[in-house]
Amino acid sequence: MPLCFAPETEATRPLYLISQDKLADWRASLPPSDAAWVSAMGFEGKIGQTVVLPDGKGGILAAAAGFGTDVSRARARFHLAAAAGKLPAGSYRLETDLTGDALAQEALGWLMAGYRFDRYHSQTPLAAQLVAPAGIDAARVEAMAAGEALTRDLINTPASDMGPQALERAVFDLAIRHGATATAVRGDDLLAENFPMIHAVGRAAAQAPRLLDLRWGGVGPKLTLVGKGVCFDTGGLDLKPSSSMLLMKKDMGGAATVLGLAHMIMSLGLPVQLRVLIPAVENAVAGNAFRPGDILTSRLGKTVEINNTDAEGRLVLADALTLASEEPTDLIVSMATLTGAARVAVGPDLAPFFTDDDGLAAALFAAAPGMADPVWRMPFHTPYEPMIEPGIADLDNAPSGGFAGAITAALFLRRFVQGATYAHFDIYGWAPKPAPARGKGGFGQGARALLAALGARWSL
């Protein structure tokens, strides 16, 4: 569904955004009858509270939404979005002293609050619409909302309808929409084209594994986004318990997130040379599944001992990262729902990232708050390198011991990047409970922060 701002009309009503410390002043500015009405309705300016002011003719003159306190705002994101679903139908014009990133953030939250995943069951749409506030880049906010909606749709779709073939279709559809080019290498052609680990991970599934490659833009810095596209992960022969499989439709969350970011970049016409690489597979169980103890030879020529078939994401990413490094590239970014260790470290809300580039890390930290897209830097801790060296092969895909699982996975991936600045995001891609602008289910992490950071880094 399109997430766009509404046009302003004669029927558009003012919507006052009122913090608790400004409530008394706002109430004093109202006619006495309206001030009494606000008090009678129990409006205190708390986040998520709303009140409508009657026009005396049975209609609505204006509305107000609570903006809370400094403390309550620090505990949540997208404060206006908490009220969006509680307002009567109609279009609203925001009245606030917010400016800049803070204003754009609240407008974005409103649009994202309108997201509904209605592929399988009808959903009640958001009745209230927002006019684009003056002073924001409305097209940019709409592009970010649309990119986020794409990411959510892809993650929320179950593997029955979002296998490697459907993920390929999503890539090609996005390419057609933006005038990009897309190609795919499928099945046994992966062996002929030297993507052996992508083939090994996905060969046991009903749908053939594939490597998807989208290109767009002919000028500017070269940016390659690599997204983990494991459309469902059984764990392979190291089978997950059933409880751990319940969310494995989201194991292509990295692919979904880079596609959402690619949509933002292309929609905004940013002057970059964009490439998106997605190894799309299902990690399934069959007689030809790869096994614990196998040693695979990667595209780069490095050998990898398989000590757990449930650590498959880094294998498919390794071949894709090798391909990404085979041509001059200014920045390679991988995004993946890679390790449970990252969730233990920072929980589901933060997107941990790894990079050796201090400038990029600083740009991400500076950009993330304004995008309401929190990130946290984790270390490529080189002294842990021996943990991923098993002796019998060049690399171990699942070091024993359980320590530093997110770091060792990132170190594994770094081995396959040659001659380019590299950043890796180990995202969760799922909201375990509803929050303003975000229902329970799939969501993007790190994409908006990266969009803003690259804009600052490359003066886009």
Q: Where are the beta strands (DSSP E) in 81-239?
A: 90-95, 128-130, 181-186, 210-216, 222-227, 229-233
Radius of gyration of the chain from Cα atoms? 24
Active site residue 215: no
Q: How far is CA 175 from CA 156, 170, 181, 213, 434, in A?
A: 21, 9, 6, 10, 32
**Distance separating the N- and C-terminal Cα atoms of the chain:** 28
Backbone angles phi, psi at 219, to 5 degrees: -135, 160
Which pair of structure tokens corresponds to residue 281?
């597979």
Active site residue 240: yes
The DSSP-derived string for 396-458 is: ESS-TT-TTHHHHHHHHHHTT--SSEEEEEE---EESS-BTTB-SEE---SHHHHHHHHHHHH
Active-site option among 314, 414, 448, 457: 314
CB 281 within 8 A of CB 230: yes
Q: How far is CA 40 from CA 18, 34, 304, 424, in A?
A: 17, 10, 69, 53
Active-site option among 73, 93, 140, 240: 240
* CA–CA gap between residue 178 and residue 267 (Å, rounded): 7
Q: Which residues pair with 49 in a beta bridge?
A: none
Q: Which residues pair with 297 in a beta bridge?
A: 303
Would you name the residues annotated as active-site residues?
Answer: 240, 314
